[in-house]
Structures are given as C-alpha cells and as structure tokens.
Amino acid sequence: MSIESILTYIHGSNQVALFTHIQPDGDAIGSCLALAHLLKITGKSVDVYCQDKVPAYLQFLMGTELFQAKYKKEMDYDLNIAIDCSDKERLGIFSNDYLSAIHTVNIDHHISNTLYAKTNLVDPKAAATGEIIYRLVRAFTDKPCRDIAEALYTAISTDTGGFRFCNTTAHSYRIAAELVDCGIDVEQINTHLYKTNRLERVRLLERALSSLTLYDDNRIAIISITQEDLFATGAVESEIENIVNYAKDIIGVELGILLKEMNDGTVRISFRSKGGIDVSKLAEQFEGGGHRAAAGASLNMNIEQARAGVLYAARIALEDYN
C-alpha cells in the first residue's frame, strides 16, 4: 500500500490511536512518538498504547508520558495504527483493541510481517520503521520540528546499531543528515542512547568478564551470569543484553556464548557468531532459534550442566565449520 492511501486515512480521521510492540525498543518508541507529534500538530486527537514501559534509555525523548498501558474503552477511534509490529500478537494485551477500529493500518519493516491490518504499509528494505514514518512526515513538511526529528533519529539509529549494522543504507545516512538539518543535538542523543550506564550494570560487567572463559584455541568464548551476580550488583536482567558481545568481539573468537541463569531455574543461552558459523542451527539443537549471527535457546538444567552441553555442541559446530 502506498504512503498516499495512508495519508488519505489520516486526513479523514479525527481520533487516532497508535500501538506498538511489547518490550519496545528505540524504533518502536521513536516511530510512535514521531507520528504522534505529527498527528497532534495536524490537529488530531491521539492516544498512544504500549503494554510495557518506555525503557530508561529512551525517556529523554519528548512525549514519552503519552504512552498508556490501559485501553480507553470509551474511545471510538476512526483509525488505529500499529507501528513496528510484525504480527498482531506483538501488540500484547492490545491486539484485540487494535482490530476494533473501522480502519486499521500496519506500518512496519519486518520481512516476516503477516499483513494483519486492513491497510498494510510494509517495506522490508527500510532499515527501521522510522524510515517509513519519515516518508509520512515529509509528506506534511520539508523540515519537521526538533521533537519529531529526535524521535526519528533515535528510531533509525537504534535499529541500525548506530548506523553500523549491515541494514544501514545510503538512504539511512541521508535521512540522518536531514534530521541534523532540523536542529537535533547529535552528541546529546547518542550520549543518551549509547553512553549511559548504571553503576550496577558496570559492576555486573566486571563480574561477567571475570567469568569469561576461552576454549579451543580461543575460538569459543563463554560468559556466564548467575542470579547471585544480579543480586550482588543490583543489576536487572535487561542490562545483561549486550554483554555477550564482549565474548564475540575478541579477535580469533568464532563463537561468543552467554549463559544467563534465570530466576525460574532455567538457563537462557545467547549465541553470537562473527558470521562464519550459523548459530541459528546451533540454537535449534536446543529447541531455540534466531538468525545466522545471533540466536538463543532455553535449557531446563543448572548453569554448569548447560555450559557442558552447549560447549559440546559448539565444538562440533566449530569442527564442521573448519
């Protein structure tokens, strides 16, 4: 579906609701806020729904207080727009509310999108949903306001790993340039996104690194994090996320693995590859899944048993690869 038909729906609506996915990331929050700001400027009434809270690192964006976790049953929306959701289950508790409007629009960039709305604007070539929202914004104005520009920069930057992942295109950089022209403070945004660390997370990192163990001529690196590590440092589970990269990024390492002891006694495994070994296949052996370079699985055993099992499978994968 084209941008123009979405614009027709927007122009014909007064009460609009935006929805994004559970456990929202920068693209979800940034894209929602940019569109919410735009709709408000054009005089619409807008509600913004997300089941889960806006993460701390995104709280600097203007308008994060707009997000609501309770649906206004009394509202009779003309138009419901789902943003950055590949299927309606990603809407969490709002998946039925979303479908209740006369017009439903689905704006997303995931290739796996199930086209669950009446009108679907899905572009898998976009590095982020924020790039599609940018096109919508540009249909209204050549130079969006700073709040919109900051939200879109955040959306695109976070989904491209700070303009570093392979999904980053020349177009992503061109949009960044145009957003800088709108007066955003590049350093300030990047400080919020990438250079802000809770002390508890730094303490957790120290403990995680002290667990770092290398195997097989340093081609496999394993980090483990226990419940005791979280308890002792005061760090929270979401702060574990990127620590696996410290294992993967070591020169010579082909497979970086993180073992995370969960509070239900299971062990969550994150597999990362430099690209040579397909870790989705490794994860499948443990009934998990993912992509070639990043995958995960859950094991119902203690962390030392999990280490032994994962290491055994990793060694075979490494041998097959060589």
Q: Which two tokens stand for residue 136?
A: 């919508």
Q: Which is nearer to its own copies, 274 or 281 (CB)?
A: 274
Pick from 202, 236, 262, 308: which binds its own copies (CB under 8 A)?
202
Q: Which two tokens stand for residue 216?
A: 């097989």
Residues 146-165 that bind its own copies (CB under 8 A): 161-165
Pick from 64, 245, 285, 298: which binds its own copies (CB under 8 A)?
245
DSSP string spanning 81-148?
Answer: EEES-SSGGGGGGGHHHHHTSSEEEEEE--TT----SSEEEE-TTSSSHHHHHHHHHHHH-SS--HHH
Is residue 198 at the binding interface for its own copies, with CB under 8 A as the rule? yes
Residue 195: CB minimum distance to its own copies, A: 5
Pick from 45, 114, 190, 298: which binds its own copies (CB under 8 A)?
190
Residue 135: CB minimum distance to its own copies, A: 16
Q: Residue 25: which of 145, 132, 156 has the closest Cα? A: 156
Residues 254-293 that bind its own copies (CB under 8 A): 274
Query: Which letter does DSSP use for residue 221 in this model?
Result: E
Pick from 178, 215, 294, 315: which binds its own copies (CB under 8 A)?
178
d(CA 257, CA 46): 43
Q: Residue 80: which of 92, 94, 90 has the closest Cα? A: 94
Q: Which two tokens stand for residue 215?
A: 């195997």
d(CA 253, CA 172): 30
The interface region with its own copies, picked from 10-18, 97-105, 171-179, 276-284 by CB under 8 A, is 171-179
Is residue 14 at the binding interface for its own copies, with CB under 8 A as the rule? no
Is residue 234 at the binding interface for its own copies, with CB under 8 A as the rule? no
Is residue 93 at the binding interface for its own copies, with CB under 8 A as the rule? no
Q: Residue 167: which of 125, 114, 123 has the closest Cα? A: 125
Residue 279 Cα to chain centre, angstroms? 20
Q: Which is nearer to its own copies, 1 or 193 (CB)?
A: 193
Is residue 206 at the binding interface for its own copies, with CB under 8 A as the rule? yes
Is residue 215 at the binding interface for its own copies, with CB under 8 A as the rule? no
- Coil, strand or helix at 223: strand
Is residue 142 at the binding interface for its own copies, with CB under 8 A as the rule? no
Is residue 70 at the binding interface for its own copies, with CB under 8 A as the rule? no
Pick from 69, 102, 209, 262: which binds its own copies (CB under 8 A)?
209
Q: Residue 297: which of 315, 275, 313 has the closest Cα? A: 313
Q: Interface residues with its own copies (CB under 8 A)?
A: 161-166, 168-171, 173-174, 176-178, 180-181, 185-187, 190-191, 194-199, 202-203, 205-206, 209-210, 212, 214, 218, 245-246, 249-252, 274
